[in-house]
Amino acid sequence: MNRSPVETILFLLMAGIFILTVPAWAQPQQATPLLVVDPGHGGTDGGVKINERYQEKDATLAIASLLQNELARSAAVTVQLTRQADRLMTTSERRKAVRALQPALFISLHVNGGFGKRSSGYEVYFPGFGSKGSGGGGTTEILKDMVRNKYLNESVRLAQSLQRNLEDVFPRKGRGLREAPIPILEGLAMPAVVVEIGFATNPEDRAKIMNDKTQRAIAQALSRAVLEYLNNR
Ligand SMILES: [Zn+2]
């Protein structure tokens, strides 16, 4: 390798041009985790009524959009919503959308409704341990269970992060974490939770759910929880 100085300069220039012209698809990808947020209900399915003019579908979309805006500033995560407008979407359509996007995590937003005025505060649901047991203990079933449990543990961790942060908006009123078989979460191969952002049947919660400022505070709490979860992976 006895290159003259001119040859060396030419070589370096060519190498530089080559590096600069490598197409984007050939460069190592920086995979930013994707969060899919699912604003519950929509269109003719209004969900629970919050007042004469405001329904669950409106609150979930407003908070999901605010959450997307909050996280738009962060390079740690990208956000997509299952619906961006007031339109009807079935559970299977939502599940199909989630499976196609294959996000790193999934949050479905809802508003609770109780029989009395006393129930209040947020609730976070994650898929239950016992929701889909193994069907006989074969190797395939055991492996499936292991994968399920891995996502379950991560779902619990995400739920705990949400709990810690939502306490700021609903002090001393958190109803905490719930394990339950929830159709939209069944069999999703990712950490997935449903957040019930307060009770439409409780006067204080109702005011919070409809108020711009508290909607923003809820979105900020959700955003902090997501970043906290991702930072500790
Ligand atoms: Zn709902």
Q: For each successive 10 residues of the chain (233 residues), what is the average pLDDT?
A: 71 63 56 96 97 96 98 95 97 94 96 86 80 56 73 92 90 73 85 94 94 96 97 89
**Distance from the alpha carbon of residue 79 to the mean position of ligand 1, in angstroms:** 21
Taken as a whole, the chain contains a residue count of: 233
CA–CA distance, 10 with 151 (Å, rounded to integer): 53
**Could you tell me the pTM of the whole model?**
0.82
Terminus-to-terminus CA distance in the chain, angstroms?
47
CA of 47 relative to ligand 1 center, distance in Å: 5
Question: How far is it, in rounded angstroms, from Cα 140 to Cα 142?
Answer: 5
* CA 86 – ligand 1 centroid, Å: 14
Burial (CB count within 10 angstroms: exposed 0-12, middle 13-18, buried 19+), residue 132: middle
How many angstroms is it from 77 CA to the middle of ligand 1? 25
Compute, in angstroms, the gap from residue 73 CA to the centroid of ligand 1: 28
DSSP 55: B
d(CA 101, CA 229): 20
Residues ≥6 apart with Cβ < 8 Å to 212: none
> In angstroms, what is the span from residue 111 Cα to ligand 1's centroid?
5
Angle at 201 between CA 105 and CA 161, to 5 degrees: 25
Q: What is the pLDDT of residue 187?
A: 79
- Ligand 1 centroid, distance to 84 Cα (angstroms): 16
Fold of 36-231: Aminopeptidase (3.40.630)
CA of 41 to the centre of ligand 1 (A): 6
pLDDT of residue 131: 46
Find the 163 Cα to ligand 1 centroid distance in Å.
19
Cα of 108 to ligand 1 centre, how many Å?
9
State the distance from the centre of ligand 1 to the C-alpha of 39, rounded, in angstroms.
9
Question: What spacing in Å lies between the alpha carbon of 110 and ligand 1's midpoint?
Answer: 4
